[in-house]
Amino acid sequence: MPRFDHAFDWVRRHVEEGPLPSAVLGVATAAGVAALDGFGAASVDDHYPLFSITKPIVGLAALHLVEQGRLTPETPLTAAIPEFGTGRDDVVRLRHLASHTSGIVEPPLDTPDGLRPSLLAPGRDFAAGAVSRYSTIAFEGIAALIEHASGAPWEQAVARVGERADASGFTFDASVSPHAPVEAAEQGLDYARFAALRHPGAGLLARAADLLAVGSALLRTDGSLVAPVTAEAMLRPLTAGLPKLEPYVASRGQDWGFTWNVRQSAPGLLANDTFGHGGWAGTEFWITPSRGVCFVLLANVGGGIGRFGLDADQLHNAVAAAS
């Protein structure tokens, strides 16, 4: 739609002039896709690695089990993995895993040790609930709780999130994407080893339309993904008042809800009710209920666009203002 021209021009410019090798931008409302286009060697139907946008999709799978009475945010990780936390004097619960407050020591994203051994490694970073430090390994714990509660592989629960949103493209098969992150090795990531992990905190791939379908469903609050009361609960800040460590320090103006990045006081945004998530390769997925809009940026820049000095808030504001 013409009113989103500034947002699409922003992406086009950064593909033509760099640093984006390719990109897809999509905008949607509660009624569905409003605008969608690919840039560079990208088709709108291409899959991209989502990296940490995986987190809220897995979070929606866990919340569905909360709605069924099979989990609560207070469920301890030891319910699924009794051997977890040997030597710890605190209790790590689902809400800690979902809000980056678990205190589990973070391994490399492409850890050669494997996800479950990394989760079970002795020691802690801090006591659960005392501090917020971004954690991807915590989602291995959420996956274990999903499996424990559902009695099925956690990937099935993630697939059902897509089914409920009428999004059929979610996958953990990296071979479907022609857009492996550029310069991943230079940024310290062995992408092949990472992709083989099928990481529940970062390993999902999707098309822009898949994420837009999720965003549209959440804008409608029609219960297709989660009940309205659950949608309200998942955006309740769980880290308010806690010390926030790099890279999400307090000055960034955000808190963590249940796996969602809640940017209630982000200084660079026009709209202060925006929530969503970004990903390591420059992917962005954000929803702004007050404007009735969501947008998806799929990109493949190893380490993200921030390392080139680009500010994704410019894109946020172009979409919000146009809406």
Q: Identify the CATH number of the domain in which residue 138 sits.
A: 3.40.710.10
Query: pLDDT value at position 274?
Result: 96
Give pLDDT < 50 ranges for the chain: none
Query: pLDDT value at position 3?
Result: 87
Query: pLDDT value at position 1?
Result: 52
pTM to 2 decimal places: 0.97
How many independent structural domains does the chain possess?
1
Query: pLDDT value at position 212?
Result: 98
Residue 42: which residues within 8 A CB-CB, separation 6 or more?
A: 22, 23, 24, 179, 298
Q: 284-314 burial, b if ≥16 CB within 10 A, otherwise e? A: bbbbbbebebbbbbbbbbbbbbeeeebebee
Query: pLDDT value at position 253?
Result: 86
Q: 238-263 burial, b if ≥16 CB within 10 A, otherwise e? A: bbeebebeeebeeeebbbbbbbbbbb
Residues in the chain: 323
Euclidean distance between CA atoms 195 and 81, whole angstroms: 24
Query: pLDDT value at position 2?
Result: 57
| Structural domain for 254, as ranges | 2-322
Residue 218: Cβ within 10 Å count: 25
Using alpha carbons, list the distances in angstroms from residue 5 to 57, 103, 146, 194, 210: 29, 43, 41, 36, 22
Query: pLDDT value at position 32?
Result: 96
